[in-house]
Amino acid sequence: APAELRLERAMKRDSSSRELILKRIQNQMCDEEKRELTDYVILNDGKTPLIPQVESLLKERLCPNTLILSNKY
């Protein structure tokens, strides 16, 4: 999620001030470093549909060599 959205979520979740959350974020690894260490990224920005991303990842991980056909003819 974008930085501002993450900040708002953390403030709401923790009932903490903006300044306290910003200090906490500054002590964390930056987004680019996190992306370099992960195998998958699921975008949770409130705009991009979340469920299709999760379904795609699950299909890829659970059935990597299986051709999945649609039941639509």
pTM above 0.85, yes or no: no
- Grouping H, G, I as helix, E, B as strand and the rest as coil, residue 28 is coil
pLDDT at site 20: 97
Q: How far is CA 8 from CA 3, 20, 27, 73, in A?
A: 9, 12, 17, 45
Structure tokens at 40: 């998958």
Domain boundaries, the chain: 3-62
Q: What is the C-alpha to C-alpha distance for residues 59 and 43, in angstroms, rounded to an integer?
A: 17
Percent of the chain with pLDDT over 70: 89
Mean pLDDT computed over 42-57: 93
Burial level of 68, CB count in 10 A (0-12/13-18/19+)? exposed
pLDDT at site 65: 75
